[in-house]
Amino acid sequence: MTMTDQRRKEEGTLASLFEAERQYAPVPSGDWMARMEALALEEQPAPRPAVPAAPAPRRRSGWREALRAFGGWPAVAGLAAACATGVWIGIASPETMTTLMSSDSSSLLSALDPASGFDYAMLGL
Amino acid sequence: MPYDAMNGESDEALLAAYAAGEQAAARALVQRLGPRAFGHAHRMLGDRAEAEDVAQEALLRLWRAAPGWREGEAKVSTWLYRVVSNLCIDRMRKRRGGAVDIDDVAEPADPAPGAEAALQGRAREGALQEALDALPMRQRQAVVLRHLEGLSNPEIAGIMDLGVRAVESLTARGRKALEGLLAGRRAELGYDDD
């Protein structure tokens, strides 16, 4: 049973009276409608300004991320210098090192050793 | 969006467009809701001028509520019927508490049917309005919403803040009272042989 059928069943002997009343529904005057339209426009919030499109997020390259991970350009420059020194030591002729070791090895070692024999004796070593 | 394109929009979508500043939405809402608010107020109060005041106040409240309206929270039509009903009940209470207004007589609407049918239609309308005016406020509200506005019982329950059973009981008592009030006028109103 539809809602309308149900309602008509409820209305019983009053059905035709209600039906007539529904047909002669009170209608507002044109003047009142015009005033309501003016009031609605008067109360209406101002149009929202167009929101500019948000800039696309900047894509970070993998190199930039790696650079940041190492601590920036200064850290990378230090690392590069250390690498270059290592490479130089690797390819330089071994005579230089031999000369260094053989010329006065004891004095060289003592020069490299931060503690002297006296210091070790004092420590009981 | 042009005005015509808004005819298919829901009340809620139109209200959102109204809050966003679309003038066509304001016009479409007035065309759609203005007659509804006025018609309901007229049937409740039986007075054209008062119905205009009440409907205007209800619409004004709707426009002011529009920016904070949350979609899905309430149906616009239910909200409007509720506001109109409450404003009418306030007026009816004041009326009963104050002096009797000799102008408090149902004014015919603006029907334009022809001759005899129009006369009988007006007689029926006047008689029904008089009988409605004699009902207790809540019964009148329930009968108007159910039988003249054509709403479902759950919708009426939402408007009146009642359970569906209570609405059914109110409308049943209202109909019975109307039948009693109109019993002696059946022949005059031409509905005893319908």
The model's pLDDT over B95-114, given as tens digits with 9 standing for 90+, comes to 777 543 433 333 334 434 44
Contact B187, A23 (CB under 8 A): no
Query: Is B115-194 a CATH 1.10.3720.10 domain?
Result: no
Which of A15, A20, A45 is the closest to B124 by Cβ?
Answer: A20
Nearest chain B CA: its distance from A2 CA (Å)? 11
Q: Nearest Cβ partner of B34 from A16, A36, A46?
A: A36
- In chain B, CATH 1.10.10.10 sits at 115-194
- B61 alpha-carbon distance from chain centroid: 16
Q: Which two tokens stand for residue B44?
A: 């409740």
Query: Across residues A12-29, what is the average pLDDT?
Result: 86
Chain A closest CA to B55's CA: distance in Å?
Answer: 9
The predicted pLDDT at position B172 comes to 94
Q: Higher model confidence: residue A92 or residue B59? A: B59
For chain B, where do the domains classified as CATH 1.10.1740.10 start and end? Answer: 1-102
Tell me which chain A residues have a C-beta less than 8 angstroms from the C-beta of B34.
28, 32-33, 36
User: Which pLDDT belongs to residue B96?
Assistant: 72
> CB A26 to CB B51 under 8 A?
yes
The pLDDT score that the predictor gives to residue B107 is 37
Minimal Cβ distance to A21: which of B27, B51, B148: B148
Measured CA to CA in angstroms, residue B159 lies from B10, B114, B131, B189 at distances of 19, 36, 23, 32
User: Domain B1-102 falls in which CATH fold?
Assistant: Rna Polymerase Sigma Factor; Chain: A (1.10.1740)
